[in-house]
Amino acid sequence: MPPSAPRPSPLRIGNASGFYGDRFDAMREMLTGGELDVLTGDYLAELTMLILGRDRLKDPEAGYARTFLRQLEECLGLAHERGVRIVANAGGLNPAGLAARVRELAGRLGLPVRVAHVEGDDLTAAHPGALAAHAYLGGFGIAACLRAGADVVVTGRVTDAALVTGPAAAHFGWTPGDLDALAGAVVAGHVLECGTQATGGNYAFFGEFEPRRLLRPGFPLAEIHPDGSSVITKHPGSGGVVDVGTVTAQLLYETGGPRYAGPDVTARLDTVALDRVGPDRVRISGVRGEAPPATLKVGVNRFGGFRNQVEFVLTGLDVERKAELVRAQLEDALDRAESRPAHVSWDLVRTDRPDAATEETASAVLRLVVRDPDQQAVGRAVAGAGIELALASYPGFHVTAPPGKGAPYGAFHAAYVPQGEVEHVAVLPDGTRESVPPAPGTRGLADVDEPPLPAPPPVGGPVRRVPLGRVAGARSGDKGGDANVGVWVRGDEAWRWLAHTLTVERFKELLPETATLTVTRHALPNLRALNFTVEGILGEGVAAQHRFDPQAKALGEWLRARHMDIPEALL
């Protein structure tokens, strides 16, 4: 028999940033720690676009992630020497400006580096009153830049996964019709996009690992194969852990139903198969893709008004009565004020303990938050009325910090625009502008039928009332004003129990803050996971600081801490 053809080498794509402000040294670590073909960096989030919008108001030449440029000052030579291409969305609101700065840097360093960028996402002019409005573009603009020989590609607002699908499409010659391959790359990109969250960071079962392994988790990389399957791993000797659990946790992060929609493809998360194929190596396979929706998501950031807060410290006895007194006094003062703030909210945080050994552990906090379009209204409410009570309220009156005049806050909402109305452009290294057409075929999003669940566990048997987190992991996050909570278990019997026990009704009982909100449950049996979407819990988004945990980062950990009757066999 003739020898079989050699299997093509996988494309090794690494990540060096999960957010604007991530570990500065990660770019150097990824370039020097092992073999790579492409190094990506995700610098953008809903809040980041607002921050960059404020930057650009002060300086029209700003609007990009300055950290990325400083990292390149140290690492551009390394990347050139090792033949690693760099793809990052650090262009933010000004990808052309950042591309120009990168060219200047390459010139100063004497490096023959070819720089390209992707633009067309900026739709601010079409949204009057918005500080920034940007469509989420796909990966084919990046692919065009790389096919034209770019060594560095910077983009504005693309989907996080586009940083992986673009290089993979360029390398393997994928077309928009290669839906399964694209979907596989989308899933790999989603795992990589948040950096060390895929290598043990923010992981529910972190206590199962040796602490020294988590001191400095290495950043992840994906070995992408021509069919879109991949292996998630990290550089040899770097910190952290890659296992089925860490990959599952990241797959559930900031997702909703089984259909994970993007500009190029809709990836079916209910088809994902995960397998451990070696130490710190997890294969992703079986991902099916469908045509993307006909519309692109647009993230719209606008000025929401002014916000102010004060935290009253309540110490010792009669905490609730003290809170009632100061709240009544403040409400009376607000009613008599020239203008009452449009939004007033109170939260009593009971951190106090009886017979406490320290004053701090004897104290609770009553938090007052006010919002209004008028800065004077929020300033008077807190700085005025609040402090005037200093000698006229509950015993032991004091606050955690002197209140200020109030600060501006942003609000986020998502809009949608037909793909054909967005001019997606790849600006190639020679300056040529190549138009990137919209997806040739589209498909409307619809709910997936409830998948078959395993048979219910047997009734009866001993149970123990313990925290849910003794058997289940969780990861949660924000999407505008909504939050998602992904919950998974690590065995078939535990999945039988979870699938039939953690209903929407039980979820609302465990998290009373969600009781009046719309909660949707999606089952992902391949991952032994349930994904819950909680609509409206974050108000107008993270910048509005609507709740104590404005990005719902710990909502899943609160759920894991709630007690349930769990079969002893699972413990």
Is residue 5 assigned to a domain?
no
* Residue 267 and residue 326 in one domain: no
Note whether 31 and 177 are same-domain residues: yes
Which residues does 430 contact at the CB level (< 8 Å), separation at least 6?
Answer: 148
> Quick one: which of 77, 92, 113 has its CA closest to 41?
92
User: In this structure, what CATH number is given to the domain that contains residue 329?
Assistant: 3.30.70
Which residues make beta-bridge pairs with 122? 134
Return the SS3 of 8.
Answer: coil
Q: Are 431 and 496 within one domain?
A: no
Q: Are residue 219 and residue 335 in the same domain, yes or no?
A: no
Is the pLDDT confidence value at 1 over 50?
Answer: no
Q: Whole-number mean pLDDT of the chain?
A: 94
Q: Is residue 15 part of a domain?
A: yes
Q: Are residues 279 and 317 in the same domain?
A: no
> In the predicted model, what is the mean pLDDT of residues 280-305?
96
Q: Are residues 42 and 149 in the same domain?
A: yes
Residue 377 has pLDDT above 50, yes or no: yes
Amino acid residing at 18: G
Average pLDDT over every residue of 321-341: 91
For residue 455, is it within any domain? no
The pLDDT value given to residue 344:
93
Chain centroid offset of residue 551 CA: 9
pLDDT digits (tens, 9 = 90+) for 173-191: 999 999 999 999 999 999 9
Give the per-residue pLDDT at 2. 46
Asked, for residue 453, whether it belongs to a domain, the answer is: no
Domain with 556 in it: 463-570
Reported as a single tens digit per residue, the pLDDT across 10-52 is 999 999 999 999 999 999 999 999 999 999 999 998 889 988 9
* Residues 278, 345 within the same domain: no
- Rounded to the nearest 5 degrees, what angle is found at the Cα of 550, between the Cα atoms of 261 and 311? 175
**Token code pair at residue 551:** 């990005």
Q: How many C-beta atoms lie closer than 10 Å to residue 392's C-beta?
A: 9
User: Does residue 66 fall inside a structural domain?
Assistant: yes
Task: Tell me, yes or no, whether 322 and 273 share the same domain.
Answer: no
| Whether residue 166 has pLDDT greater than 90 | yes
Residue 2 belongs to a domain: no
Question: Into how many domains does the chain fold?
Answer: 3
- SS3 at position 227: coil
CA nearest neighbour of 553 among 194, 304, 308: 194
Residue 454 lies in a domain: no
In a domain, 443, yes or no: no
**H or E element: which one contains 213?**
none
Same domain, 189 and 238: yes
Q: Are residues 273 and 145 in the same domain?
A: yes
Indicate whether 78 and 143 sit together in one domain. Answer: yes
Q: The tokens of 131 are what?
A: 């500080």
75-84, 264-273, 382-391, 488-497: least confident range? 382-391
Residues 343 and 285 in one domain: no
